[in-house]
């Protein structure tokens, strides 16, 4: 069931989103060669808790950290580790959620670690731009399929593939709510968007095949062919006008 948010609830979601976005920004600034993903996770947790909030991911379904940090061919749900030391040329996806006063903010960004290959940079640029193209369609009267179709057409036209096993979602008092928001689909199909809906749009785009697999830890999801993957995410509110990005650090 899709829960329509009141203006008060959207205000609370924006505050939670701001905490999540600022934590994500700090994480991005910490992405450097020689840094461990565990150290970046500590930055995230420290900031979120300093704001009187809680990391949404910590303990969620048994997840052992405050952020998901996914390097190179890891698509999503990478578990931060002291053993994972970043190297120049890596691409590093950081996914952060924060819960404040009972509401969640959820966002992700993929950062280059130092100079990266042109192949990696093009993947980052394409995935990021597909997100912002999709946000343009997140308006009253449009449909879920318009969002997914926009992402799919944008990235496939540039030779990349869309992960289909995982999708975006509603956000509210629960971290994951209805509706599901795929990054593929047919324009004009699916649920119609209404004022007060809050959703996370999160393209997960692979350099090679769309196929992914989950490792034995039950979380870490990698590309089946070992090629690079990028992930960008914003939580937005549907309004009568343009969508509001709730995970904005400013």
Residue 239 in tokens = 């309004």
The span from the CA of 163 to the CA of 243, in Å, is 24
User: Rounded to two decimals, what is the model's pTM?
Assistant: 0.97
The CATH code that applies to domain 7-245 is: 3.90.230.10
Task: From 76, 125, 127, 112, select the one nearest 232 (Cα to Cα).
Answer: 127
62-112 residue pLDDT tens: 999 999 999 999 999 999 999 999 999 999 999 999 999 999 999 999 999
The span from the CA of 67 to the CA of 108, in Å, is 10
Distances (CA, A) of 67 to 93, 106, 170: 10, 10, 19
Mean pLDDT of 9-34: 98
Helix (H, G, I), strand (E, B) or coil at 44: helix
Residue 241 in tokens = 């006008």
Element (H, E) at 199: strand 198-201
| SS3 track for 109-176 | EEEECCCCCHHHHHHHHHHHHHHHHHHCCCCCCCEHHHHHHHHHHHHHCCCCEECCCCCEEECCCCCC
133-160 residue pLDDT tens: 999 999 999 999 999 999 999 999 999 9
Q: Is the pLDDT of residue 250 over 90?
A: no
The span from the CA of 235 to the CA of 218, in Å, is 25
105-115 residue pLDDT tens: 999 999 999 99
H runs (alpha helix) in the chain? 7-30, 37-50, 118-135, 144-156
Contact 181, 147 (CB under 8 A): yes
Residue 59 in tokens = 């303990």
Domain ranges of the chain: 7-245
């Amino acid at each position: 069931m899709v829960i329509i948010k009141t203006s008060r609830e959207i205000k609370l979601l924006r505050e939670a989103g701001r905490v999540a976005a600022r934590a994500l920004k700090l994480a991005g600034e910490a992405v450097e060669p020689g840094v461990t993903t565990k150290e970046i996770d500590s930055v995230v947790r420290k900031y979120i808790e300093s704001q009187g909030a809680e990391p949404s991911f910590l303990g969620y379904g048994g997840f052992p950290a405050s952020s998901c940090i996914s390097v190179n061919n890891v698509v999503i749900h990478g578990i931060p580790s002291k053993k994972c030391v970043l190297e120049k040329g890596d691409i590093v996806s950081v996914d952060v959620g924060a819960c404040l006063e009972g509401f969640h903010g959820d966002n992700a960004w993929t950062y280059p670690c130092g100079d990266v290959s042109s192949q990696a940079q093009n993947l980052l640029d394409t995935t990021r731009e597909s997100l912002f193209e999709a946000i343009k369609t997140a308006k009253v009267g449009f449909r879920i399929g318009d969002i997914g179709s926009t992402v799919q057409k944008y990235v496939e036209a540039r030779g990349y593939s869309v992960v289909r096993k995982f999708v975006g979602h509603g956000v509210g008092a629960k971290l994951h709510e209805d509706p599901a928001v795929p990054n593929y689909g047919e324009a004009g199909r699916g649920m119609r968007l209404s004022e007060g809906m809050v959703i996370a749009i999160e393209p997960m785009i692979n350099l090679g095949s769309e196929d992914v697999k989950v490792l034995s830890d039950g979380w870490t999801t990698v590309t089946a062919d070992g090629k690079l993957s990028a992930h960008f995410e914003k939580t937005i509110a549907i309004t009568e006008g343009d969508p509001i990005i709730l995970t904005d650090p400013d």
